[in-house]
Amino acid sequence: MPANTIEENRRKNPIADGDQVWLFGYGSLIFKVDFPYLESRPASIRGWSRRFWQGSHDHRGTKNHPGRVVTLIEDRDAVCGGIAFLVDASVFNQLDVREKNGYLRFTTEMNFADGTHDKGLVYIATPDNEAYLGEASECDIARQICFAEGTSGPNCEYLIELARSLRELGLNDRHVFDIEMHILQIRKE
């Protein structure tokens, strides 16, 4: 699958003009909300774990020194917490460009904090995309993140902002918090 997913998302998953759609955010969509939305709610999806396994050659790294950003990895019993945003279909013109480095839109069932649920969309960078980096230890991921920077800023800012937002939501994500701990240690060295 090519690294640029804009065309594939538009071709495979067109969204009808005027539709209002729930979008589940679990990474930068939680802490960098630069798109209009009608409503937002804490939410979770089942069967997925958040992992810093996707490479970033644009926002948080470069072609030669890619950064690492989160994607979702299938994990049968896991629950991934984040925020659901109700957005107008037109917002996907902007979001497909922002998430173009390997992310495809998938339909998912999301559970809201009040016990209700609904269908919506989520951007996932699957292992077959060219920018995918895959598993590494939290310590190695932290080292890579510490030294990467792209057009949206330093990669460690992405990690620190995500960790802060997860804490604000009352979510405990060991993978993210372990990487954060290693980054704070590396910065002291």
**Which residue of 15, 21, 22, 27 would you call a contact of ligand SIN, by CB under 6 A?**
27
Beta carbon of residue 70, minimum distance to ligand SIN (angstroms, whole number) = 5
Catalytic choice (99, 130, 135, 157) = 99
Tokens read off for 83:
């925020």
85 binds ligand SIN per the rule CB under 6 A: no
Nearest to 175 by CA among 149, 145, 132: 145
| 113 vs 185 by CB, closer to ligand SIN | 113
Binding positions for ligand SIN, 39-78, rule CB under 6 A: 69-70
Spatial distance between the Cα atoms of 168 and 82, rounded to a whole number of angstroms: 11
111's tokens: 């559970």
| 28 forms part of the interface with ligand SIN (CB under 6 A) | yes
H-helix or E-strand spanning residue 154: strand 153-154
Number of neighbouring beta carbons within 10 Å of residue 27: 24
Q: Which stretch binds ligand SIN (CB under 6 A): 26-34, 85-93, 128-136, 165-173?
A: 26-34
β-pairing, 117-125 vs 20-25, is parallel
CA neighbor of 146 nearest in space, from 88, 117, 188 = 188
For ligand SIN, the binding residue among 15, 21, 29, 179 (CB under 6 A) is 29
- Minimum CB–partner distance for residue 25 and ligand SIN (Å): 4
- Whether 74 is catalytic: no
Q: Residue written as tokens 């372990």?
A: 178
Indicate which residues carry an active-site annotation. Answer: 99
The binding site for ligand SIN (CB under 6 A) comprises 25-29, 69-70, 99, 123
